[in-house]
Amino acid sequence: MINIELFDTYTAEIFTILYENFPVCKDIKTHEIVKSVKTDPETSDRNLQICSSTMHWLRDSGMVSVYAPSKKTFSTSDDVGIDYLFTCVVLTAKGLEILKQTPKSVQRGGASLGEEISSAVKKGMREEASELVGLALGGIVRGVVG
């Protein structure tokens, strides 16, 4: 996968965790997100870097609040690399507002973007989840979110 595809996929995973647990903050470990996506093990370090950069971007764009990011080394039987732990992550008012919107293009029974993304992730429909992330992040600017 190219970087933007990984960004969309990791964002879908992160949004699912945070939306389903809102307003309770959650600790996000990048290696757990990367592992859940099941990407090529040969690119593990690159994927961890993209996942942590995704979290930083979501924080910097005002979608999520992160109490404290930290970096630590980890080693398990199948992974070696740098893992990032983001402590007490929660959707911001902006992030929640966007995920609670119902996009005009996918109005299926009134489900919100957050519900649609969560459903797609749970069903393993990563491409659909990524498209929905695109709507979530760009919808307000493009006027697709109603």
Say if residues 121 and 129 touch (Cβ distance below 8 Å): yes
Q: Please state the pTM of the whole predicted model.
A: 0.81
State both tokens at 29. 């470990």
Domain ranges across the chain: 3-142
Bridge pairing between strands 64-75 and 26-29: unpaired
- pLDDT by residue for the chain (146 residues), tens only, comes to 789 999 999 999 999 999 999 999 999 999 899 988 876 666 678 888 999 999 999 999 999 999 987 777 665 555 556 778 899 999 999 999 989 887 666 555 678 888 888 888 888 888 888 888 888 887 544 444 44
Say if residues 123 and 87 touch (Cβ distance below 8 Å): no
Buried b (16+ CB within 10 A) or exposed e, 61-100: eebbbbeebeeeeeeeeeeebebbbbeebbbbeebbebbe
pLDDT at 143: 44
